[in-house]
Amino acid sequence: MSIFSSKKSWIQLTIWVLIIALIIAAPTLLPVFRLNLLGRYLSLAIVALGVDLIWGFTGMLSLGQGIFFALGGYCTAMFLQLNSSEEFPNGIPEFFGLYGVEKLPFFWEPFKSSIFTLISIWLLPAIISALLGYLVFRNRIKGVYFSILTQAALLVFFNFFNGQQKLINGTNGLKTDVTQLFGQMVGSEIMQRWFFWISAVLVILAWFFARWIVRDRFGNILIGIRDDEARVRFTGYNPVIFKTIIFSIAGGLAGISGALYTVQSGIVSPQFMTVPFSIEMVVWVAVGGRGTLLGAILGAVFINYAKSLVSEALPASWMFIQGGLFILVVTALPEGVLGWFRKGGLKKLLFLIGINKKLETYPGLEVNEQGEVKS
């Protein structure tokens, strides 16, 4: 086949085979605990891809992606709780009993359906982000104001979810690890293994999807909006529609991410909508390399893995390291690690620390063992 004729295609094929082999083998290579962590971080990579689309490509720094992330998580958790609540009083999830609620709140009803849940995980956050986005973009709110607005929205959602004990168990959140799915405990080893695989596959699919979006003129318009929105307008494009679409896509991705994260961490709670968490999402992308989709994925996975390793060894020091990383990226690597790497940063660094020698500007003289110049 012609696509495998060049050397580059063979390298690519090898890499893919390797990735797929690693994904299949991971459960046997890693202890259960590590596998679970990796699965969670892979699911976080999906929300990072969304952040990269709206921030890295379109230039809109959203500090409120936690909203859509949490919504995806809540959709999943509601379904799982309903799916395993037959033995509880009134046949509704156990926590309702604590607050004397006897009838299932109306909005829980549709989540009895698995199909509705699978669709709402991404569609609900996508719709809400589209509505929020449209209102904001139509009024030409951008830059810092957009960031502040998304953060304010995040706080509104956080406080609302925190206070609704009778609807969604408020600050306690909804547990998923003791719920049942396909006759198995969600927290069980076999289920977790499957969730790991699903996360890995979905990261790859989300990556292909994001690449497809930015591959051609649509992606170029996004970059155009980032660099000069007025020009886009005078070229005959309506930036509001483009921004709404991409913000909605990022919201949908965040929802999927939140759903996968929830089932692998065993609980969804308003903690998913705290301000620092949404800012962390931006940090992953900034460190990995904004505007490079792969950078977003690597940033999310590696930073989180580093976070858990560092926290195990030196508790409480992670915040300093994360802060330091962010400062390093902002000052020295504005395009993130991957962006820096792609621009030949590694070579420059090797010169700087003297491992690679710079090319001589004039032809060097050949020297023999005694240090004499050969004639």
Partner 1 sequence: MSSPLLELKQISVSFEGFLALRDLDLVLNKGDLRAVIGPNGAGKTTFLDVITGKVLPTKGDVIFKEKSLLGQKEFRIARKGIGRKFQSPRIFENLSVQENLALSVSRPKTPFSLLIDNLKVKHLDEIQHLMSIVNLQSKANIRAGALSHGQKQWLEIAMLVGQDPDLLLVDEPVAGLTDEETDLTADLLKSLAGDHTVLVIDHDMEFIRRLDCPVSVLHQGHVLKEGSMSEIQKDPLVIEVYLGQSEEEE
Residues that bind partner 1 (CB under 8 A): 213, 216-218, 220-221, 223-224, 227-228, 230-231, 233-239, 241-242, 245
Closer by beta carbon to partner 1, 238 or else 317: 238
The least CB distance from residue 216 to partner 1, in Å, is 7
The least CB distance from residue 210 to partner 1, in Å, is 12
Q: What is the DSSP string of 247-314?
A: HHHHHHHHHHHHHHHHHHHTEE-GGGG-HHHHHHHHHHHHHH-TT-HHHHHHHHHHHHHHHHHHHHHS
Residue 54's CB is within 10 A of a number of other CB atoms, namely 28
30 CB-near residues (< 8 Å, 6+ apart)? 38
Closer by beta carbon to partner 1, 140 or else 348: 140
How far apart are alpha carbons 351 and 177 in whole angstroms?
A: 51
The least CB distance from residue 253 to partner 1, in Å, is 16
The least CB distance from residue 47 to partner 1, in Å, is 22
The least CB distance from residue 56 to partner 1, in Å, is 12
The torsion of the CA quartet 161, 149, 265, 210, rounded to 10 degrees, works out to 140
H or E segment and range at residue 184: strand 184-185
Which amino acid, 64?
Answer: G
How far apart are alpha carbons 50 and 343 in whole angstroms?
A: 23
How far apart are alpha carbons 219 and 206 in whole angstroms?
A: 16
Closer by beta carbon to partner 1, 207 or else 237: 237
Closer by beta carbon to partner 1, 3 or else 230: 230
The least CB distance from residue 224 to partner 1, in Å, is 5
Closer by beta carbon to partner 1, 232 or else 301: 232
Closer by beta carbon to partner 1, 270 or else 289: 289
